[in-house]
Amino acid sequence: MTDRNTTPAIQVEGIRMRFGADIVIKDITCTWEAGKIHGIVGRNGSGKTVLMKCICGFLRPTRGQARVFGRTIGKDVDFAPDTGMLIEAPGFLPHETGMSNLLWLARLSGLKGRERVRTCIEMVGLDPNLKKGVGKYSMGMRQRLGIAQALLDDPRLLILDEPTNGLDKQGVRDVHALLMCLKAQGKTVLLASHNPLDISGLCDSVREMDGGVMSAAYKDITI
């Protein structure tokens, strides 16, 4: 049995990902400690999203493996356990309200009760009583709703790809405050971002990806 207090949140061992002749992830090995906020920075096409999909279980790596809370993805479990995810643009039913979308997703996940859905929507600064369909939401509002979706099951780990994409300055501050609050509760966050504001003063560790290669962890960066 693994110790919840000492087991790393994420362990990646020798992951390589090939699409045809293209190697987009090149033998990455790293560990992310539980209870902290970790950042990955890098340009479009650097491999950040592909790596996150391998960790979540959406893609099976060509070689290597990922473990989340000590459980091997694709062997012990199909998908990362106890993990909320926002990978790429969130997809919702455009004619349904935010509340209706998350209630539907909650039922698919076996969650019961409207209060948790309402709480998650309020946590990201949205109004659960808003009547307009998600198709009329701004990009930032959809992004907030995507984060609320990731929070539904009260996961121990959040994996967020560009979580502040489309948000204004106040929206970025709101998301930062939420992530810091979740960290204070003992949760772990792994986020990928182009935005230096997502990194400076927020993350406990930062790694940079370039051409499918990941740097060693460091903290203070200038982007």
81-86: average pLDDT: 96
Q: How confident is the model at residue 94 (pLDDT cuts 50, 70, 90)?
A: very high
Computed over every residue of the chain, the mean pLDDT equals 90
pLDDT above 90 covers a percentage of the chain that reads: 75
pLDDT at residue 217, rounded to an integer = 67
25-43: average pLDDT: 95
Token pair recorded at residue 192: 């990928």
d(Cα 69, Cα 57) in Å, to the nearest integer? 14
d(Cα 146, Cα 158) in Å, to the nearest integer? 12
Residue 4 pLDDT exceeds 60: no
Residue 223 pLDDT exceeds 80: no
pLDDT at residue 20, rounded to an integer = 92
Query: Residue 41: which of 200, 207, 216 has the closest Cα?
Result: 207
Phi-psi bin for 67: left (phi > 0), alpha (psi -120 to 50), beta?
Answer: beta
Burial 129-161 (b: 16+ CB within 10 A, else e): eeeebbeebeebbbbbbbbbbbbbbebbbbbbb
Which segments of 34-73 are extended strands (E)? 37-41, 63-68, 71-72
Query: Residue 144: which of 122, 129, 159 has the closest Cα?
Result: 122
Position with higher pLDDT, 109 vs 105: 105
The residue count for the chain: 223
Residue 177 pLDDT exceeds 50: yes
Residue ranges and CATH numbers for the domains of the chain are 1-82+155-223 (3.40.50.300), 91-154 (no CATH)
Report the chain's C-alpha Rg in angstroms.
17
118-136: average pLDDT: 95
Residue 28 pLDDT exceeds 90: yes
pLDDT at residue 166, rounded to an integer = 85
pLDDT at residue 6, rounded to an integer = 74
213's CB contacts (< 8 A; 6+ apart) are: 26, 28
Residue 213 pLDDT exceeds 50: yes
Q: How confident is the model at residue 2 (pLDDT cuts 50, 70, 90)?
A: very low
12-39: average pLDDT: 95
Q: How confident is the model at residue 222 (pLDDT cuts 50, 70, 90)?
A: very low
Token pair recorded at residue 73: 């993805």
61-76: average pLDDT: 97
